Amino acid sequence: MSRLLHGLKTKQTRFALALKIALLGGAVAFSSVAIADDILKEGITPASDASQIPAAAKLRKDTVVAGISEPQGIFNPYFFVNGWDENVTNVIFSRLIDWDSHGNLVPGLAESWTVSPDNKVYTIKLRPNLTFSDGSPLTADDVAFTLT
């Protein structure tokens, strides 16, 4: 910083630059605090009025309910534009091939896959007995349709 200020000609210019840097630094610090407050508020929040919970929801034993703030509403794995929408698509859609916690490729809907020597052709074998949420079978044609 001293080199930067040393090259400036007048005290006013140096003061103005130093002031701008200080203000910018302060703005970043305060915005970081605001972000930290939002993060600290996240977590599991029990319903405040149990009488408002629908009866069907009270009976569910295998359902996860997740809430997030301000998604763009693009819940399509090909077109989402922010992490919030990605969070939603991750629990709605399954990948053919996924990543583990170490960044290694692992099977998703695919049982196995091979890549041609020129890296232009991927051959993917689907796991047997895959179905959509309505119980209808998921086929290679369905996968091909989603990629076209």
pLDDT tens sequence across 92-135: 888 899 888 898 999 999 999 999 999 999 999 999 999 998 99
Cβ-Cβ contacts under 8 Å for 18 (sequence gap 6 or more): 5
Q: Each residue of 24-68: pLDDT tens digit?
A: 655 444 444 444 445 545 556 666 777 777 777 777 777 776 665
Number of other CB atoms surrounding residue 111 within 10 Å:
13
pLDDT band at 23 (very low <50, low <70, confident <90, very high): low
Give the integer Cα–Cα distance in Å for 86 and 114: 27
Give the integer Cα–Cα distance in Å for 120 and 116: 6
Q: What is the pLDDT of residue 60?
A: 74
pLDDT band at 141 (very low <50, low <70, confident <90, very high): very high
